[in-house]
Structure 1
């Protein structure tokens, strides 16, 4: 009985960690609004501070063992780092080549892509409740962003699809290799993103001291905290459920902008946000009820 109770406690903790990760990720528009640089410059500085913050957290919580984790990642750790970097690098040009609406809707299909990969690779059969909740969440995202535009660029859509598949694959790899120190891979992915962005960034050397402070907060709260919490939580949850909970990021994004800049979200944002949050909460409550 104690082992069952331990598993249930670990599952509840994992849900809380992924919810917290979604909250951290949702602050991206808030920090981006404060910075007036090209996307690649933002990616560079955010990655520097994000990767540095994750390494600092590893050293603070694990002392020298944190450095050992960097050397003990193995192929699975490098695979997670590569997939995370691919997702970050595809996201920026996708936003430049097609509408934000299209990118948001494609990202919202993440739970389905993740569940399909988990079923194919791990034999993890998705639960009907999670699949239904994912579909409701997808409908909510469609309402929030207002639907795709007919003039969308094919290359931008392709990059958004590639990013969604990369993040889905990353989630499944974390689940498959749950004993591998994946937090170190999260740090490495940020540093790899910095290297990739250097040739394309146009304002790396023009940032002010105030902007450096903003970049540091961006890197710590949105990147380091969000990615670390997601890595720690998703390894103990079915892949489809972890991806579904992460969709909480979408309805929370306009909340921070409203709170800081007093920009009132459209009525569609409220309606779609209720659907997304309702679907995620319903799946979590159903999961907890099943545990009891």
Structure 2
């Protein structure tokens, strides 16, 4: 039995979230500043995806970008701003703080989805969002230091991500690969005046190259594709997986151990998201069987 577009979207967003949750780890593995990292990441990921686009479409590359139109360019610009705010937040507050604040995205997405699309979130999605928020509130009590400015950047990023998911849902016909290429390159262009790519060490370049090609390019593309078939609140809910995963990668690879309340709260978020995905799969399977 083939999977429904809805469940394929859930799977794509989930895999993308796991991949993109390693961004905090990347910022801890390099010694370059935020604009330089943003420039290198955007340039590497955007160039790699452009090569993929050219290999797949060849003579249709120009028309594919032309199909973006104003709505597509708005999607690209919003995604690029998200990247700028995200990297800025990771450099000015803790990985856990960024992840915790981002976990509130389902509530922002639910409001924007209802306001701009008239979509009413499902009861299970709202319940899961409430449970996830309980885990977030518990993690806030971990006592980990952050900064007001960094937390503000993380909240602004959260709002922009929610708006981006709504735009993808509103304009599902925009080509995913050109959107992702343009977004990556635009974020690099924004960072260029402040970046110093020539001072990056070989180690830093290899780290960004590995993450840019193997992780972020695939993650951005899957997220752009998957968010088209999933209501904004649910895409944002799955994105809440970043809350437990981002500190986990830092713990595994760098030994930066989070507090007990962070671990417990992150587990609550993880369980809420997993239960919702299982519930959505069961619903999709039942609907397919009846049709």
The bucket for the TM-score relative to the shorter chain is 0.7 to 0.9
Q: Does 1:174 align with 2:168?
A: yes
Unaligned regions of 5+ residues in structure 1, if any? Answer: none
Q: Give the equivalent residue in structure 2 for 1:37.
A: 32
Q: Give the equivalent residue in structure 2 for 1:277.
A: 270
Q: 1:268 aligns with which of 243, 261, 269?
A: 261
Go from structure 1 to structure 2 and tell me whether the alpha carbon gap of 1:262 and 1:79 turns closer, same or farther (over 3 Å shift). Answer: same
8 Å CA contact 2:112, 2:163 repeated in 1? yes
**Residue 18 of structure 1: CA displacement?**
0.7
Distance of 2:130 and 2:272 partners within structure 1: 9
Q: Give the equivalent residue in structure 2 for 1:131.
A: 126
Distance of 1:48 and 1:194 partners within structure 2: 6
Q: 1:223 aligns with which of 216, 220, 227?
A: 216
Q: Give the equivalent residue in structure 2 for 1:254.
A: 247
Q: Give the equivalent residue in structure 1 for 2:289.
A: none
Unaligned regions of 5+ residues in structure 2, if any? Answer: 287-291
* Count of matched residue pairs: 285
- Per mean C-alpha deviation after superposition, the further-off stretch among 31-40 and 228-237 is 31-40
SS in 2 for 1:37: coil
Which consecutive aligned stretches of 4+ in structure 1 deviate over 6 angstroms post-superposition?
148-151
Q: CA RMSD in A?
A: 2.5
**Residue 150 of structure 1: CA displacement?**
10
8 Å CA contact 1:101, 1:148 repeated in 2? no
Q: 2:82 aligns with which of 81, 84, 87?
A: 87
Q: 1:184 aligns with which of 175, 178, 193?
A: 178
